Amino acid sequence: MRAGDLDRRITIQSYSYERDDFGGEIPIWTDAAAVWAQVAQEGGREFLGAETIRSERKVVFRLRWLPGITVTHRVLYDGREHNILEVRELGRREGLELHTTTTG
């Protein structure tokens, strides 16, 4: 993986819980890592949902190897939240390919 191809900054977030004042659990997203990545858009579609037209984009992020990333994480990029659908290992722990989807 060439360093010059990793020209976009992304943030990977993990899902956790925080206790509120009454002892209940509040779901929150916390930053797990901020890394450089290559971004490739794979396609998209438009659909009717909740009586409005919504769009869905599929985006692939390629980054250097980072242990512990799973589909329970998400990616923040360009002001959008990208849900991870699949994590693929590139080479022998040389990199990761994150297949994501985002709606807007």
Instruction: Go through 33-68 and write b for each residue having 16 or more CB atoms within 10 A of its CB, e for each that does not.
Output: eebebbbeeeeeeeeeeeeeeeeebbbbbbbeebee
Closest CA to 80 of 100, 96, 64: 100
Distance CA 8, CA 64 (A): 12
CB atoms inside a 10 Å sphere around CB 101: 14
pLDDT tens by residue, 67-93: 999 999 999 999 999 999 999 999 999
Give this prediction's pTM.
Answer: 0.82
- The whole-number pLDDT of residue 5 equals 84
Tell me the H-state helices in 38-101: none
Distance CA 27, CA 12 (A): 16
pLDDT tens by residue, 25-70: 999 999 999 999 999 986 655 555 556 666 788 999 999 999 999 9
Topology (CATH) of 3-103 = Thrombin, subunit H (2.40.10)
Instruction: Enter the DSSP assignment of 68.
Output: T
Extents of the domains making up the chain: 3-103
